[in-house]
Structure 1
Amino acid sequence: MLKKLIVVPFLALALVSCGQNVNLGSVLGTVLNNAPLTEGEVANGLKEALVQGITNGAKQASAVDGYLGNSLIRIPFPPEVQKVESTLRNLGLGGEVDKFVTALNRGAETAAKEAAPIFVSAIKQLTITDAFNILRGEKDAATQFLKRVTTAQLTQAFAPHVQKALDATQATRYYSDIANTYNKVPFVTKINPDLQAYATQKAIDGLFILVAQEEEKIRENPMARTTDLLKRVFGSVNN
């Protein structure tokens, strides 16, 4: 078996180098279909699953209405100032509030376009031990691992994109107008929350929700396993 594990990849690579149109995954899948999973296969399979989930999740999030039209990840008015929303609606300024919420979610959708490469870079931290633990873990084990090791890095890297998107969609201006209007109301407590931090966190939370959904599909639905390696790695769990 050890010889087979060593020889097959080199055979496939040799065919490729000779100009043959060879799918390395197919070669390995055919020869090793009934062989025990190797550590490398598990690690690579998990990385493929994460990349696939992240790519699909980021694509969904960055589409028009990716956040705004999805009740699971739609970013609402900041909770610590929700009283502002009701007060302004009572003052007949509901249209301005709606513009702000729309712009806030458009900002997240725009920023989500930058998410995939940040996530993919972080996947390189996945070790073989991590891979085996994730493979046998809960249905969102890979997502939870990614969240645990990348949230701080993602927040730092994502924040500038969110701020730029908020400015471009005028969410910052809308919120400033709303806050200034509200602060003029007699006897209210003045507000000035950190809109960037709120939007960044909610945008990242939404992405992780979508990635978790994609991971669950790969684990539960064989049709979602788009490569031989994914079929082999995740199929072993269900066997």
Structure 2
Amino acid sequence: MFTRITSALLVAGLLATAAPAAHAQTTAAKKAAAAKKAAAAKKATAAKAPAKPATKPAVTPPPAPLTESQASAGIKEALNKGILRAVEFASEPDGFNANDDIHIPFPEDAILMKTTLSKLPGMNTIIGTFETQLNRAAEAAAPKAKDIFLNALANISIPDALSLVTNSSTDAATQFLRRATEAQLVTAFSPDIQAAIDQVGAGKAYAKMTSQYNRIPLMTPVQTDLAAYTTQKAVDGLFILLAKEESKIRKNPAARTSDILKQVFGRK
């Protein structure tokens, strides 16, 4: 009897101890299930929500169309600046002589004369200074180009200005000016070049060389028109310098030293 009572009490104690543990396990399981269900519901809600539109990058509006007055003012200022710099540079001592881009060489059709005379006693000195004298003549005549250039510049039309500004060539305005002024420059330069050739001694040197050379048997006489040759080379040199100045303004922002140059040539 006692044994049965004891066993019953033991079983009741075990059951009483196990009940809280089981209850705790059940509660934890319910919480885990609830959390899992809440997470699934949140995920489903997020999936149904409309996606946020992607942020579009800011778009820079294009510049306002170039006006006719802006184009005209811009191209004229660019050329005016280039003309003044080109003429100033060409007029300096060694402006032609020391610049490989525009240095005036010994006349091509007289190269054989140069080679032949260089073998004769006393001729090397004359030959050596002759090229320098040609370049000195061009430097002396260069200032006369300024007024001719500027007069042509004043007559550039509005349509021409617009065309020159939008032209992709880096020397479009220079070539336009060349077509408008080259013949006038050659005519104006010719007497000045002739005077400068005589003044610097190139005329006497050339006369001495050709006289000596033309006396050599079987040699074809040299008949180069020295003034015409030097004049054309001087004009070519001025346009080369002007083209370089125009290219700087078109390609290099640092060369656009005024508001109108920035407006006209700083456009993409």
After TM superposition, give the deviation of residue 35 of structure 1 in Å.
5.1
**Distance (whole Å) between structure 1 residues aligned to residue 212 and residue 187 of structure 2:** 31
Deviations 1:88-117 (A, max 9, x none): 112242211111111100000111121111
Q: Does 1:65 find its partner at 2:94?
A: yes
1:215 aligns with 2:242: no
Native 8 Å contact 2:109 2:222 kept in 1: no
Q: How many residues align?
A: 204
Structure 1 position 194, deviation (Å): 0.8
Question: AA paired with 1:55?
Answer: L
Segments of structure 2 that go 5 or more residues without pairing to the other structure are 1-62
Tell me the residue number matched to 2:202. Answer: 171
Give the TM-score taking structure 2 as reference length.
Answer: 0.73
Q: Which stretches of structure 1, 4 residues or more, deviate above 4 A after TM superposition?
A: none
Could you tell me how far apart the structure 1 residues matched to 2:144 and 2:128 are?
A: 26
Q: Distance in 2 between matches of 1:161 and 1:139?
A: 31
**Relative contact order: is structure 1 or structure 2 higher (C-alpha 8 Å, sep ≥ 6)?**
1
Give distance in 2, aligned partners of 1:172 and 1:122: 32
Q: Does residue 97 in structure 1 map to residue 127 in structure 2? A: yes
Counterpart among 136, 149, 164 of residue 106 in structure 1: 136
**Corresponding position of 1:116:** 146
Partner of 1:133: 163
Larger radius of gyration: 2
**How many Å separate the matches in 2 of 1:209 and 1:166?**
22
| 1:5 counterpart residue number | none
2-side partners of 1:180 and 1:113: how far apart?
33
1:87 is matched by which residue type in structure 2? Answer: T
AA of the residue aligned to 1:74 = H
Q: Which residue of structure 1 lines up, in the alignment, with residue 259 of structure 2?
A: 228
1:185 and 2:197 matched:
no
Cα deviations by residue, 1:165-195 (Å, 9 ceiling, x for unpaired): 1121111111111111111222211122111
Structure 2 residue matching 1:188: 3-state secondary structure: coil
Q: How far apart in 2 are the matches of 1:105 and 1:68? A: 5
What is the CA–CA distance in structure 1 between the aligned matches of 2:163 and 2:173, rounded to whole Å?
Answer: 9
Aligned to 1:9: none
Q: Is the 8 A contact 2:138 2:193 kept in 1?
A: yes
Percent identity between the aligned chains?
Answer: 47
TM-score (norm 1): 0.82
CA contact (8 A) 2:95 2:139 kept: yes
